[in-house]
Chain A
């Protein structure tokens, strides 16, 4: 016991860190468990029995899969637009000298530092006052999502760009590559992981957003709005199936990337 005690003493920080990690994962375990729940009543807030049914028929609750589909469409579209615009901005911020750079920096940071309820309500105020109040839906959601993803993309790509060794590009130039070749052969491949991370981040931000979307969605229902609506009524266990699937997909992507990186570095050695 004292041996264990000493070991814990030495690794106290790591131990505390793992406890916090457990806190981060506690609800995930519940989501996974509840995805196999066979609820006795309509309100599925307790685990009543094990079943595979929810995984076999994820689309059974009316409107669930439509909502997921809408969220996927909006997520993909806003990711493509935000990543493209944000990457260009990040290149301008890191690689170009121009007047008003620090003001631009602040300007890009501001949406990230505004509470979602303010962003959502201000967009609603704009749409209503410009006569779009009756036409809220796919397009207004898309506009809002691109807006709040943009800042995150710029910050992520910028971090990657400014951490890059510019001597590699100079070397390419010294070897008589022109600017275009240098960009596509050297710069872009080096920045690409940052762009991918930014795209992944904006997709998850868009797919998950509720507060801003709810104010600007009109009658369009995204996945988080479906969850919110059913939380007031019956909460079908299939919601947890979608949640678990998303978690597994993320784990697969993130851990897969990490494994690939390890294998590469092992081979390089």
Chain B
């Protein structure tokens, strides 16, 4: 999705001969950008700075008495000492979620791009359609689907995947199922966008050169779809790490993620600790993402 916008289309390249000359273009560019950029500056950049500041407030303050800036870097040490486990759990869950989304999303994106024929747009519409029912309602539905006497549990018991006393709801499996479900479209759409651009003749050529379907996939299709894989994994991993809805509705306090704690602390008015946790989450994600993008080597991602 994001990789799509960056492709140098015919318009963004060097203007060919005969391209109408635009007068004062650089100024027009800034004027067009200004309102939106100002909004982002005021309500995205400044808030991040406020969050950084709040994370260094005196932890003994309260909403009533106000918070004073005491540069308490100790907030970070305390917060991490208390919340290391939900933190690690969040990153682990979103890693699992990303893996499952890739595993489930790739076949569907591939099927839409290469096998759907004239049903392509129709299938794409079906991927997006469930999006429009509130995601909270859909997550609550998973509570029903995974409930102890629901048919999913019954089925898994019948085929002996789940023991006779087994359950799904209120387990890690339920939380990861919900997370995978909620972020799957974010994987499918960028995957589809990059698969769709692959010239089908390249895949045919793989077959002509006596490569089996698997070899063709490994050496031709997969490498060509890497921009989609990178964009999809980022768009899945990042929001999943901060989510707390699935852990709250489908899990128990044992499965709680860092988002649950941040939300709870903010609601309780413990701003400095909550802000420190929020900043740490952002920093952890930035570091992981930079490391990953460097390894995956797709620089023109955004």
Contacts and interface: CB of A to CB of B under 8 A. Distances in A.
A125 B54 contact: yes
A164 B9 CA distance: 7
B33 A215 contact: no
B55 to A, nearest CB: 8
Contact of A118 (B28, B37, B112, B278): B278
A231 B249 contact: yes
B1 A85 contact: no
A28 interface: yes
A175 interface: no
Contacts of B51: 118, 121-122, 125-126
B181 A240 contact: no
A146 B289 CA distance: 25
A214 B263 contact: yes
A258 B122 contact: yes
Given A85-B35, A88-B33, A115-B285, A30 B141 contact: yes
A145 B18 CA distance: 42
Contacts of B185: 24
A76 interface: no
Given A89-B33, A124-B266, A125-B53, A254 B141 contact: no
Contact of B29 (A98, A117, A166, A231): A98
B128 to A, nearest CB: 7
A60 to B, nearest CB: 17
Interface in A155-180: 155, 158-159, 161-167, 169-170, 173, 179
Contacts of A31: 133, 137-138, 141
Contact of A24 (B54, B127, B271, B281): B127
Given A21-B108, A24-B181, A97 B25 contact: yes
B159 to A, nearest CB: 16
Contacts of A91: 32
Nearest to B13: A166
Nearest to B114: A13
B210 interface: no
B137 A227 contact: yes
Nearest to A240: B137
A258 B134 contact: no
Contact of A27 (B44, B54, B145): B145
Question: B8, B133, B239 — which one has the most chain A CB atoms within 10 A of its CB?
Answer: B133
Interface string B204-247: 00000000000000000000000000000011001101111100
B7 interface: yes
B116 interface: yes
B4 interface: yes
A207 B114 CA distance: 33
A227 B10 CA distance: 46
Instruction: For chain A, give the interface size range.
Output: 35 or more
Contact of A17 (B111, B137, B145, B244): B111
A24 B11 contact: no
Contacts of A242: 134, 137
B127 A231 contact: no
Contacts of A85: 35-36, 39
A18 B112 CA distance: 10
B253 interface: no
B104 interface: yes
Contacts of A207: 134
Interface string B133-145: 1111111111111
Which 7 A-B pairs rank lowest in CB-CB distance, beginning with the nearest?
A115-B242, A17-B111, A96-B29, A250-B132, A162-B9, A27-B141, A92-B32
15 contacts: A21-B123, A24-B185, A85-B39, A96-B28, A96-B29, A108-B36, A110-B44, A121-B262, A125-B53, A179-B20, A204-B131, A207-B134, A215-B263, A243-B137, A244-B133
Interface of A: 11, 13-14, 16-18, 20-21, 23-28, 30-31, 34, 45-46, 85-86, 88-89, 91-99, 104-119, 121-126, 128-130, 133, 143-144, 146-147, 150, 154-155, 158-159, 161-167, 169-170, 173, 179, 204, 207-208, 210-211, 214-215, 223-224, 227-228, 231, 235, 239-240, 242-244, 246-247, 249-251, 254-255, 258, 261
